[in-house]
Structure 1
Amino acid sequence: MTSPESQSPEFKDRVYRSVPAIAGGVMLLAIAAWLGIDALVSGQGRTQWLTLAVMLFVVPLVVAFTLRPAVYAGDDLLRIRNPFRVIVLPWGQVAALKSAYSNEVLTESGAKYQMWAVPVSLRARKKAARREMRATAQARRTMGRDEGRGGALGMGSGLGQGLGGGGPESQGPARAGTDQIMDELRGLHEERHGAEAAQGEVTVRWAYEVVGPAVAGAVLVAILLAVG
């Protein structure tokens, strides 16, 4: 069955999620279900009620921080679904997309929103930098060999430049996965920022479907622990 979100035409183009976060969330939910069912079956009295309250508190939080985050990029709107909020930004209201220790959207009014579904990985950046260094070194070695052969054949350095032009350097610098996503979003922003259909107001909605159960579970846990 297709969800209403995937049927929305303005968000059908690109959807970005964190695969490691989803995998971790599924694993955590499986562990919680296993421990919770075991406690409900083998526990007695107050233990069963406390287990239900803890699961009511924990499960929404796990879903919020792992399965829920997503970024929907359409022709007119950028929709950011974070753990506890949903932010809808027309491209005309987006001032910049910045990447440092987190990926963020800055609006024309000065507001800043983090994109949980596109986390920054410093490790991935370092790996991409190492790949780029190796590719550059290999290209230089290849160009050196080709220039040497070209000189021996009396064809000069032009042969080496021609062969080197198709090397790794011509393919652009290596980039981490989330940095590539940010590049795509920046390109879409530059293309659609001035479009008439991409104007409007920024809207922010709290995810009460997540906050409500989590708060209710926390209150129940506090009451059960206080009653003893």
Structure 2
Amino acid sequence: MTSPEDQEPARRPSGPSETPETPETPEISETSAAGEASEVSAAGEVSAAGEASGTSVASGVATKDRIYRSPGGLVGGVLLLGLVGWLGIDAIVAGEGRTPWLALAVLILVVPLTVALTLRPAVYAGEDRLRVRNPFRVIVLPWGQVAALRSGYSNEVVAASGKKFQLWSVPVSLRGRKRATRQESRARAEQRDGRTASRGADGLGPLGGFGGGGRARAGRAVPDGPARAETDRVMDELRQLWEAHEKDESAQGEVTVRWAWEILGPAAAGAVVLGILLAVG
């Protein structure tokens, strides 16, 4: 059995040299690392916000414009430019006398016009305005200044002042409308025949299995409302945007019209050079 004197040294601290010291340096390094991490994350948030602010912003949300172009116009423009370039370059390289100069003048005149009529037209629809890029003009209409979007023999937008602007990149396709009408009639007929076959199969009792095909046709999805051509659906989307944002504060302003001098200038220069060469003989 031990005495109290023998147990007392075990309860006493062993001395200053044996007292564990709390490492302060690691805490400082962790704090600095946390600060650096917060600075990095803050910098990352700033850069992300900067990239987002590069797009058009409406109502505090970054959005992008919807772009509508004519696929047929793009394909036709590329083919025409290839043909004109091939003929023109061949005449410049292999021609004699005035032929290279005439070919060059024709290229300067024809290439801008081809680009203007085929590749250039586009419609940009955002939440605050409609920008129409036609062959020789660029029209910007805030939704608050749009009075109507009409579809007849051509698609056009009517400003509040009464001026009309044609949408070159959204041409009316009468063939597409007829095709959509035929598809709708065919779908309605299949639905009607499917319902008739389904009712007949249900009345056969044990032989009702022969009506499975009729029930499958009856279950085919039929589009809601009349079938629409592609350009008509584009006009429907533009009308929805107009109706949704025409009262917005950011959708107010003035209509601006700018001439496409980047197209008119080269074309006019080519026409002048061609006229001079033809006049000189």
Query: Above 0.5 in TM-score?
Result: yes
SS of 1:109's equivalent?
coil
Residue 172 of structure 1 and its aligned partner are, at CA, apart by: 3.3
Name the SS of the counterpart of 1:181 in structure 2.
helix
Structure 1 unmatched runs, 5+: 1-6, 154-161
Aligned to 1:93: 145
AA matched with 1:203 = T
Matches within 5 A, 1:109-124: 109-124=161-176
Contact kept in structure 1, 2:194 and 2:218, CA below 8 Å? no
| Mapping of residues 63-212 of structure 1, within 5 Å | 63-150=115-202, 167-212=220-265
Q: Distance in 2 between matches of 1:164 and 1:77?
A: 44
Number of matched residues? 214
Range with greater deviation from structure 2 (194-203 or 8-17): 8-17
1:199 and 1:103 map into 2 onto residues whose CA distance is 23
1:32-53: CA deviations, max 9, x gaps?
A: 1100111011112311111111
Separation in 2, partners of 1:131, 1:114: 28
Could you say what secondary structure the match of 1:194 adopts? coil
**Normalised TM-score (structure 2):** 0.72
**Distance verdict in 2 for CA 1:81–1:170, change over 3 Å:** closer
| 1:9 match | 56
Question: Which one has a bigger Cα radius of gyration?
Answer: 2
Q: CA deviation at 1:103?
A: 0.4
Query: Distance between the aligned counterparts of 2:144 and 2:204, measured in 1?
Result: 58
Q: Which residue of 2 is the match for residue 52 of structure 1? A: 104
* 1:36 aligns with one of 85, 88, 111: 88
> Residues 140-191 of structure 1: CA distance to partner in whole angstroms, max 9, x if unpaired?
11122223344566xxxxxxxx999854435332211111100100111110
Separation in structure 2 between the aligned mates of residue 170 and residue 210 of structure 1, nearest angstrom: 43
Secondary structure of residue in 2 paired with 1:204: strand
Contact 1:143–1:163 (CA under 8 A) maintained in structure 2: no
Give the superposed CA RMSD. Answer: 1.9
Distance 1:104 1:181, change over 3 A: same
Distance 1:151 1:103 in 2: 51
2:76 to 20, 24, 30: 24
Contact 1:136 1:168 in 2 (8 A): no
- What's the TM-score once normalised by structure 1's chain length? 0.88
For 1:91, the aligned partner's letter is W
